[in-house]
Amino acid sequence: MIEHSIDQPLNKFNITECGWKFIKDHKTDELAFNVYKRANPIASNTELRFERKWRRSMNYLMEYVRSYCKSDVYIAQAFNYEVGGRHPNSSLTHNEVCMLKHLIDINIIETKLYKIDDGRYAEENCETLLVEWSATFPYQFNSFDVNFPDELFSLPSKNVLECLHQKINQEKLNEKLASYKMLHTFNLSPTQTEEIRNDYINVYKTLISTMFECLEKLF
């Protein structure tokens, strides 16, 4: 059942080779087997219901594997929607200007690299927001707002989500994504635009890998 529940969506998405490599690298098949061994005896009287939940969880995870393996399609589409829609010289809101200053302050954005005159925003009153954001990254700028199910394989997923959020904060992944949105409002060279696109894709792939690393927290 386990191998079939992985193989079926991978075949459907036409990512069998890449998908199985990702699964093996992250030992997801081993984890799934251990979860199945622990949960199945409990579910023996409701086997059909358990199997439906199992397949639902596996399909949820395989959607992320598809995005990882076909990043130039699925993650690139997200880039075009989330970042590519911003045009050079787009007006920045007060909060966006403050976010730009915040990202410069924490060295996510290098002003020299993108020829940004940070003195241009010196008059913007951001002190209150900067103090607040130094402690907690603002929700309105979060790109990694993962719609995570309450259960995976009939087990509570709270610890997995906590692990994921912790690693997102440690690696400043939301800050990096926010920087790409801000930078796209400047007059970038085609090379810089392509670099930002590639960085965006790689950050999202890092998120997906991190999610699968955190699956061990199911136990």
Q: What is the mean pLDDT of the chain?
A: 84
Tokens 């690139």 belong to 76
The amino acid at residue 148 is F
Tokens of 142: 């979060």
Asked if residue 41 has pLDDT above 80, the reply is no
Mean pLDDT computed over 6-23? 87
- pLDDT given at position 86: 67
pLDDT per position as a tens digit, 186-203: 888 889 989 999 999 999
- pLDDT given at position 204: 93
- pLDDT given at position 1: 64
- pLDDT given at position 87: 67
Asked if residue 90 has pLDDT above 70, the reply is no
DSSP tag of 123: T
* Residue ranges in the chain assigned as alpha helix (H): 2-12, 16-25, 28-39, 47-69, 74-82, 94-105, 111-114, 127-135, 158-170, 173-183, 190-213
Asked if residue 107 has pLDDT above 60, the reply is yes
DSSP tag of 12: H
Mean pLDDT computed over 129-151? 81
Asked if residue 43 has pLDDT above 60, the reply is no
- Half-sphere exposure in the Cβ direction for 60 (13 Å, CA): 18
Max mean pLDDT among 24-33, 65-74, 79-88, 120-129 falls in 65-74
DSSP tag of 93: P
Does residue 64 contact residue 26 with C-beta atoms inside 8 Å?
Answer: no
- pLDDT given at position 47: 65
Q: Residue 83, SS3?
A: coil
Partnered with residue 152 across adjacent β-strands are 155
- pLDDT given at position 88: 66
pLDDT per position as a tens digit, 159-180: 998 999 899 989 999 999 999 9
Report the candidate in 90, 118, 68 with the shortest Cα–Cα distance to residue 181.
90
Tokens of 182: 């801000």
C-alpha angle 52-44-30 in degrees, rounded to nearest 5: 65
Residue 89 pLDDT class (50, 70, 90 cuts) = low
Q: Report the alpha-carbon distance of residue 160 to residue 166 in Å, rounded.
A: 10
DSSP tag of 136: S
Mean pLDDT computed over 148-169? 87
- pLDDT given at position 205: 95
Tokens of 1: 């059942």
pTM: 0.85
**DSSP state letters, 44-75:** GGGHHHHHHHHHHHHHHHHHHHHHHHTTTTHH
For residue 19, count other CB atoms closer than 10 A to its CB.
22
